[in-house]
Amino acid sequence: MKEGKEDGVDWKWTNCLTLTMSNDEKHSVDIPAHEVHSKSVNGLHGNNFYGSFTIVSKKGEIYNHGKSINASPTLAQHTEPQYFEWLDEQLDDVPLGKIAGAQAFVIEINQTNTPCSKATCRKKILSCVKDGKVVDRDFPMVIARMSAYQIYETQYPKVCPTSFEIEEGRKEQLKTFPLASMCLHRWPEKE
């Protein structure tokens, strides 16, 4: 695993996207990755992007949003801004009790390339995690759980792994991560 900080946010590269938490009864609850992470984004037909979200209650109940967005970059707008516009609309349809009783909000993103440097892309994701705010809604904790086919550019994100670290990281034993505000990113398929 490779760890680091970017704009004050913990960033972890790993081979496992499963999160764990202790619920009110002190039992361990696994929060598996959303189904968007199983979709193919290998880039054969452009830049593919799938996004959704998961809400974890203080009791350990998991709400995987049943809808996802399939966004494409445009000349005027990258995929992440399209995701956050979609997310704002989707949150309006989530029962208020789910949001009010949330322990954590998980941003779920799977895309061809890792989030780029544009201020409306990776910086927006980092801001949500750091501030605990997703499209004007406050959460005790925000996690960005991401996967991508390849690294966009070697300097993005700032905590970018080397080819050697990626190769070694894929050999690691699978392990889960305790629920905490962070960016959790699966090793890319292509270096």
From first to last of the 191 residues of the chain, give the pLDDT tens digit. Answer: 899 999 999 999 999 999 998 765 667 889 999 999 999 998 766 788 999 999 999 888 999 999 999 998 877 778 888 999 999 999 999 988 888 889 999 999 999 988 877 777 889 999 999 999 999 999 999 999 999 999 887 777 889 898 899 999 988 887 889 999 999 999 998 87
Q: Determine if the pTM surpasses 0.75.
A: yes
Within-domain flag for 89: yes
Within-domain flag for 79: yes
Instruction: Give how many domains the chain has, as a whole number.
Output: 1
Instruction: Report residue 50 CA to chain centroid gap.
Output: 11
Within-domain flag for 16: yes
Instruction: Spell out a b/e string for 121-140, using b for 16 or more CB atoms within 10 Å of the CB, else e.
Output: bbbbbbebbbeeebeeeebe
Question: What distance in Å separates the CA atoms of residue 99 and residue 84, rounded to the nearest whole number?
Answer: 17
Within-domain flag for 119: yes
Question: What distance in Å separates the CA atoms of residue 106 and residue 163, rounded to the nearest whole number?
Answer: 28
Q: Which domain holds residue 126?
A: 2-186
Within-domain flag for 191: no
Within-domain flag for 86: yes
Within-domain flag for 75: yes
| Residues paired with 21 in a beta bridge | 29
The answer to whether residues 184 and 19 touch, using CB atoms and an 8 Å cutoff, is yes
Q: Which amino acid is at 60?
A: G
Within-domain flag for 36: yes
